[in-house]
Amino acid sequence: MTLLNQVKTLFRRETVFCVSLVLAVLSALAVRPDAAYLSYPDYRTLALLFCLMLIVAGFRSLGVFERLGRALLRRAGSLRELSIALVLLCFFCSMVITNDVTLITFVPFTLLVFRMIRREGRVLTLVVLETIAANLGSMATPIGNPQNLYLCSAAGLTMAQFARAVLPYAGLSLVLLLAVLLLQRDEPLGEERPEEEGEAAPLSALAPYLLLLALCLLVVFRVVGFVPVLLCVAAVVLAVNRRLFRSVDYFLLLTFLCFFIFIGNLKRIPALNDLLLSLVGGHELLAGILASQVISNVPAAILLSGFTQNFAALLTAVNLGGLGTLVASLASLITFKFYAAQYPDHKGRFLRSFTLWNAAFLLLLTAAALLLG
């Protein structure tokens, strides 16, 4: 493979990283690298992201989430109960294991189950609702998605401030999802059910990851420093299952780093800094939602955070902004890739259904935010 083809492949697979790298390099031409660059990154956020990716990979390696899904599905008596179980699973699991890991785990599982029970005609709406559920459920905790983790760390939000910014919308999202699911046409299921696979992971295997997760939460709430926890997580994973280091999304970490450099440099260019301050300040909700539609909500959070002090409003904005276009939350691309791989002739149908449902949820939640704001 030629260098050009390698670059094209990298751009297709890691588009956001490539864009962030170009922006960082261009900004470095305007602000020459110096010692101040070392103050740009939020090292605490980077460390927490790295640790959480390792911990979640550990849980996945033990089959925890697949087993939970199978246990719930065996108890479903109808298609509506099955759909509610799957959507709620995505909503609540995303609060702990992040929206992208939730979708990587449960979307393929949903496609498999609906093929098994011969209800493939109903699966499109369901995986779209699962995607919405994962994106909205993840807003409810500081570790549910990267933008929450970053903004909580950068702004030093208290738990009360965080709760006021997101929990009303998480609660409303849950009500809307349940309303949609209850209005769906119901029908009985066949006899096919997912079977249990092997024995459950013993508590002794889960314990290290549970303890490490608790340590990360202490870092989130600023009870302990991030450096000792980073070293502890790395040491434990190295001892328990070093292959988990391969599961870390290093491009996501590099994307954060590039955006930190880009934003740090913009703030040192007076004209641009003043312009962005005037555009974002006082308009965090709409700025965050609109920016997310184009560059996705994680980069939008990092970019706009440099030009406002109203981090709570920005937190609300970038979480709601994960709805809308397919790129508004990059986790949504996971669902699209899985669905398109199984139904390559239905990509257009997926995009129409995805856009319709996302637009409806975005309009309702944005209206609620404007009323509450």
Q: How far is CA 304 from each of CA 39, 74, 121, 135, 150, rounded to the nearest angstrom? A: 18, 45, 41, 20, 12
When pLDDT is averaged across residues 315-322 and rounded to a whole number, the result is 95
The answer for residues whose C-beta is within 8 angstroms of residue 49's C-beta and 6 or more apart is 146, 149, 252, 253, 256
Higher-pLDDT residue of 337, 352:
352
- Structure confidence at residue 289 (pLDDT): 94
Per-residue model confidence as pLDDT tens digits over 187-210: 877 665 555 555 656 767 889 999
The answer to whether 166 touches 315, Cβ cutoff 8 Å, is yes
For the segment 150-172, the average pLDDT, to the nearest whole number, is 89
Checking if the pLDDT of 115 tops 90, the result is: no
Distance (Å, rounded) from C-alpha 217 to C-alpha 197? Answer: 31
| pLDDT score of 199 | 60
pLDDT tens digits, one per residue of 35-84: 999 998 889 888 988 998 898 889 888 887 677 767 777 777 788 888 99
The two tokens of residue 226 are 């991030």
pLDDT (tens digit per residue) in 239-290: 999 999 998 889 888 888 998 898 889 888 888 778 878 888 788 999 999 9
How far apart are the C-alpha atoms of 144 and 285, rounded to whole Å?
Answer: 20
Q: What is the mean pLDDT of the chain?
A: 87
Q: What does DSSP assign to residue 360?
A: H
What's the mean pLDDT in 119-133? 92
Higher pLDDT residue, 91 or 101? 91
Greatest mean pLDDT range, 15-19, 90-94, 97-101, 278-282: 90-94
The answer to whether residue 350 scores a pLDDT higher than 80 is yes
Counting residues of the chain whose pLDDT is more than 90, the rounded percentage is 39
Q: What is the mean pLDDT of residues 223-236?
A: 94
Highest mean pLDDT among 55-69, 93-107, 272-286, 358-372: 358-372
The CA dihedral of 20, 26, 27, 29, to the nearest 10 degrees, is 150
**Does the structure show a pLDDT above 90 at 29?**
yes
Token pair, residue 224, equals 């302990």
> What is the structure's pLDDT at 337?
83
For residue 201, the model assigns a pLDDT of 64
Percent with pLDDT over 70 in the chain: 95
Q: Which residue has the higher pLDDT, 217 or 131?
A: 131
